[in-house]
Structure 1
Amino acid sequence: MSTSSETKPELRTVDRAPSSPRGTRLTLHATTLGRPHAPVLADVDLDIARGEILTVVGPSGCGKSTLLRSLAGLLPPLAGEIDQDGHRLAGPSAERALIFQEDALLPWRTLRANVELPLAIRRVPRSRRRVEAEEWLTRVGLADHASQLPHRVSGGQRQRAQLARALAGHPRAVLMDEPFGALDAQTRAGMQDLLVEVLRGTGATVVFVTHDVDEALFLGDRVALLGAGRLLAVRDVPHPRERTAHDDAARVALRRDVLTSLGT
C-alpha cells in the first residue's frame, strides 16, 4: 500500500502510559569497529548520555550502521571496548532495541501480535501482554488497526507498529537505523513528531542514524559526524525537537558546518 497519501497519525492518550526504566549510558573507548580484517571505523571515543537522543550522520559506507550494530552487541569491537553503564557490552540484550529501515514485522502476525512479541519473550502473562500491546498501539495511532496483518497497512503504519513493538519491551536504549528513510516527506515528518511524542516519559536513550541532516538536527540533542573511517565531531544541537527553530541562526550555522564537514 502506498504511503504517499498517509496523513499524520492522531495521537491518543491512555489512562496509564506503559512504564519504562530510565535510559542507559553507552560509552565507546578507543574502539575499532567492523568485521575481522575489514575495519570501518577506527579510534572511536564516544560517550552517549543516559536519556539523550544522539543522531548520527555521514556519507554512505562511512560506518553508521556498523556503529549501531556494535552498540546493539551484534558486532563486537575489533579493538577497544563498548560499555553500558560502566560494564562491558557482552552481546545483544533486550535492554537495547534495534529498529531498521525495513519494518521487520512478522508477516503472519497481526500488528497486535507483533507488538506482543517482546512481552511474550519476557514471559509476560497473555492477558497483560494484550493490554500493554493495545496501549502502545493506541499511543502510535494504530488502535483501529490492531487486528490487521502488516501487508494490509501502509509503510508508515508498519513503522509505527515497529516503534510500538520496540518500546513495548521497555528497552533502556533504542537504536534506530534510518527508520524513516523509505517514507515520503509528509509521512516522514509525521513519524519524526510521533517518535518525539512516544519517547516522552520513557527516559530511553536513543541513537538515531540518518542520511538527512535536517532530520538529525531536528531530533538530536547532539549530532555525531562520521567520515573517512572515523568520528569527525560531536556537536550540540540548539533547540532540539522544535519545528519553529528550523530558521534559528544557531541551527542554520550548525547545519552549514555539518554539511561542510561532510563535504556536501
Structure 2
Amino acid sequence: MTADTTRAATAQGLRLTLRGATLGRTGAPVLDGIDLDVVPGEILAVVGPSGCGKSTLLRTLAGLLPALGGEVTEDGAPVTGPRAERALVFQDDALLPWRTVRANVELPLAIRGVGRAERRARAGEWLSRVGLAEHAGKLPHRISGGQRQRVQLARALAAGPRAVLMDEPFGALDAQTRAGMQQLLVEVLRGSGATVVFVTHDVDEALFLGDRVALLPGGRVLPVPRPRERAAHTDPVTVALRREVLESLTPLS
C-alpha cells in the first residue's frame, strides 16, 4: 500500500449536519425543519415510507440538490456542491459499459489527476478487497449484478472519500447476494474512517448495517445494539427496536 493510499484509508470521516433544514425542490419541499447530526465514522441507516424524502436527503448531502432553507454542513462548513470527499453510490451500478472493471474503478482517480501507475495500483487493491481481482479486465456486461455492485463499491472507496452516501445500493439484488454485500460493506469499511449514510427500505438491513437508524420524515435517531451479528435479530432489545422502526413506516397520506 502506498503512502497516499494509507492516508486515504485512515482519513477521518466527515461530520454531516442538518439544522432546521427544508429539503426538496422549489415549490415542492419533502422534508421541513429537519435536524440531523451524522457522527464521523459511523454508519447511519436512514429508513422511512416511500416518498418521505430519503433520496432527497442523500442528494442534498451529496451537494446535488441545494437546501431550500436551514443549514446543511460538513465539518461545520456549508455544503455548496459535489466534492470528491463525498462519494455517492446508487441502486443502479452506473458503471460505464465501454470501460473495463479496472478502468471503471480508476475513473474517479483519473478525474482527480492521480497518475496512471498509482491509479492502477489502487484499483487493483480495491478489486482484491471486494473479491474481483480476476475480473479486472472484463467489461461490466460480462459479470453478474452482485459483482457490478462490488465494482461500484470499489470505485466509490478507491479515491478515499471521507463520506459515502448510499441510496438503496443492494435493493435490486436477490436475498443471498444482498446478505453477502451487506457483510462485504461492513468488512471493507472497517478501518477506513469514512462516514456512511445508507438509505434503505429494508428494516433488517438497516438494523444490521447501521450504528444508528434515522427515521424519516421526522428525523428521530435510534441507537442500534451491538455486536453486529445476524443472530442478534432474535435478541429482545433488537426485536423491540425492529417493532419501533416498523411502526414508523406508516405510508404518507
Bin the TM-score by the shorter chain. over 0.9
- Residues 137-216 of structure 1 correspond to what in structure 2 (within 5 A)? 137-216=127-206
Give yes or no for contact 1:221–1:240 (8 Å, CA) kept in 2. no
Q: Give the gaps of 5 or more residues in structure 1.
A: 1-13
Secondary structure of 1:98's counterpart equals: strand
Matches within 5 A, 1:1-264: 19-20=8-9, 21-226=11-216, 230-239=217-226, 241-263=228-250
- 1:15/1:243 Cα in 2 relative to 1: closer, same or farther (>3 Å)? farther
Structure 2 alignment gaps of length 5 or more: none
C-alpha displacement at 1:263, in angstroms? Answer: 2.7
Deviation at 1:83, TM superposition (A): 0.6
Q: Take 2:250 and 2:48, find their aligned partners in 1: how far apart are those partners?
A: 10
State the shift of 1:240 in Å.
Answer: 5.4
Contact map agreement 1:196 1:241 (CA 8 A) in 2: no
> Runs ≥4 in structure 1, deviation > 3 angstroms?
14-19
Q: Please give the TM-score of this superposition, normalised by the length of structure 2.
A: 0.95
Aligned-pair identity in percent equals 72
CA-based RMSD: 1.5
Distance 1:129 1:182 in 2: 30
Rounded Cα–Cα distance in structure 2 between residues aligned with 1:110 and 1:129: 14
1:245·1:251 contact (CA, 8 Å) conserved in 2? Answer: yes
Q: How many Å separate the matches in 1 of 2:18 and 2:146?
A: 33
1:15 CA displacement = 10
The secondary structure found in structure 2 opposite 1:231 is coil
**Deviation by residue 1:60-100 (Cα, 9 ceiling, x = unmatched):** 11100000000000011000010100111111000000000
- Aligned pairs, number: 248
Contact 2:34 2:219 in 1 (8 A): no
